[in-house]
A = this chain, B = another copy of it.
Amino acid sequence: MRLGVNYVPRGSWFYGWTRLDRAAIRDDLAAIAEIGADHVRIFPLWALLQPNRSFIDPAAIDDVLAVVDEAGRAGLTVTVDALQGHLSSYDFLPSWVLSWHRRNIFTDPDVVAAEEELIRTLGRALDGHEAAEGISVGNEIIQFAAPRHPHPCTLTSEQAREWGERMIAAAKETFPQGRHTVSFDDDLLFDPDHPFTPDVGIHCGDLITVHSWIFGRLGPALGVDHPRLALLARYLLELQAAWASAEGVSKPLWLQEVGAPLTYLSAEAAPEFLTHTLEAARAVDGLEAVTWWCSHDVSRTLADFPVVEYDLGLFDADGNLKPIGRAFSEAAARKDEATPPPPNDTIAIPGLRQDGARESVRPDGPIFDAWASAIEAGQPRRLAVKEDA
């Protein structure tokens, strides 16, 4: 299993992209490598890369390459997240899709063509950079189509999948050795009204990605420090794997984001949550990598982040390793230990296209409960789509 972190620059957060401080970045990346991470995911801001629909700033692309090269020097590989998009509650769309220029970022032909061009430009720039692993398309960019978004883009599921396929094709075309993915939150799995459906997560990209956040449904259902919280990531991975298998798709799994939110964990319990989450996830057949969210705490001098966002780092905002960072480092040392074979017994889940499928597999529902109980009883059962579905 590969183990890495989502890189949140110390002090400057992602605002630092406007004025790259290479020395600070070098320090951060060295510290990240030091605790045993082998890769990072980085998040340049879309509006800086492409301030106008027809202008991709070559200097901003150079900044991305500079960070990739710094990571390489630290011994890390890098996935570059394109189309930011959305980060820690803040939306960062470029001005040319907002307000008087408002356009649907998933269906407007000019906008989608511009997005492809940005991904192609990034792909061409990254191709040949040894540390560059691939492009992840949008950090939970599907939030812009979520019914809960203040100004959601509307589209059909067919359009959502077509969009995902076009973005991945643009990355493949220009960076064929790269491994490219689409990123999404668990609305894709659980919100029945979301146009991005589970098949997009399975069919688009070289790996199947999972973002696991206990604050969504499981934390509110179970409460702070409940031991089952550490099973969520494994559950999401198994769920995606089961749905993929039923679709005849076999791809590695990537737990691309998982973190320890102190809204549902005490600070004391957070390191153990990391340890248990990674142990549980490692048991999933086909898991290739885990990327912790995140490297560094958000500085308390920055205002208005949701309270949960400030404390997600393995390092604090001054760069000191936190207890959860030590737990990460210990997990890194154990990451290649053998795992038990996957269980043969199954728990039935509906096919991803069945009515009500997304509601029925929610982690606050009976399927999760049965699945978690089986693990707790020492007799794990894997999720499998019903033959008769």
The interface of chain A, by Cβ under 8 A from chain B, is 13, 15, 18-19, 48, 51-55, 57, 59-60, 89-92, 95-96, 98-102, 110, 149-151, 301-304
Report how far A52 CA is from B110 CA in the complex, Å: 30
* B15 adjacent to A57 (CB under 8 Å): yes
* B90 adjacent to A95 (CB under 8 Å): yes
Residues of B contacting A59 in the complex (Cβ-Cβ under 8 angstroms): 19
Report how far A192 CA is from B188 CA in the complex, Å: 46
Residues of B contacting A51 in the complex (Cβ-Cβ under 8 angstroms): 15, 18
Given A51-B18, A302-B55, CB of A91 within 8 Å of CB of B96: no
* B91 adjacent to A48 (CB under 8 Å): no
* A303 adjacent to B53 (CB under 8 Å): yes
Q: A304 is contacted by which of B19, B60, B101, B303 (Cβ under 8 Å)?
A: B101
Can you give 6 contacting A-B residue pairs, CB < 8 Å?
A15-B55, A54-B303, A55-B303, A91-B99, A96-B304, A99-B151
Q: A96 is contacted by which of B18, B90, B110 (Cβ under 8 Å)?
A: B90
Closest residue of chain B to A298 (Cβ to Cβ) is B52
Shortest CB distance A111–B (Å):
10
Residues of B contacting A13 in the complex (Cβ-Cβ under 8 angstroms): 52
Report how far A339 CA is from B51 CA in the complex, Å: 46
* A96 adjacent to B303 (CB under 8 Å): yes
Residues of B contacting A101 in the complex (Cβ-Cβ under 8 angstroms): 89-90, 304
* B15 adjacent to A52 (CB under 8 Å): yes
Report how far A55 CA is from B303 CA in the complex, Å: 8
Residues of B contacting A19 in the complex (Cβ-Cβ under 8 angstroms): 57, 59
Shortest CB distance A132–B (Å):
23
Given A18-B18, A92-B95, A95-B90, CB of A150 within 8 Å of CB of B100: yes
Shortest CB distance A301–B (Å):
6
Residues of B contacting A48 in the complex (Cβ-Cβ under 8 angstroms): 18
Closest residue of chain B to A305 (Cβ to Cβ) is B52
Shortest CB distance A376–B (Å):
36
* A57 adjacent to B301 (CB under 8 Å): no
Residues of B contacting A90 in the complex (Cβ-Cβ under 8 angstroms): 95-96, 99-101
List the 6 closest pairs (A to B, CB-CB), nearest first. Answer: A54-B303, A91-B99, A15-B51, A53-B303, A90-B95, A52-B302
Q: By CB atoms of chain B within 10 A, which of A90, A302, A304 has the most?
A: A304
Shortest CB distance A95–B (Å):
4
* B95 adjacent to A302 (CB under 8 Å): no
Shortest CB distance A104–B (Å):
14
Report how far A18 CA is from B302 CA in the complex, Å: 20
Residues of B contacting A102 in the complex (Cβ-Cβ under 8 angstroms): 150
Residues of B contacting A55 in the complex (Cβ-Cβ under 8 angstroms): 15, 301-303
Report how far A89 CA is from B90 CA in the complex, Å: 23
* B100 adjacent to A54 (CB under 8 Å): no
Closest residue of chain B to A19 (Cβ to Cβ) is B59
Given contacts A53-B304, A90-B95, 16 further A-B contacts (CB under 8 A): A15-B52, A18-B18, A18-B48, A18-B51, A52-B302, A54-B301, A54-B303, A54-B304, A89-B101, A90-B96, A90-B100, A91-B95, A91-B98, A92-B95, A99-B150, A100-B150
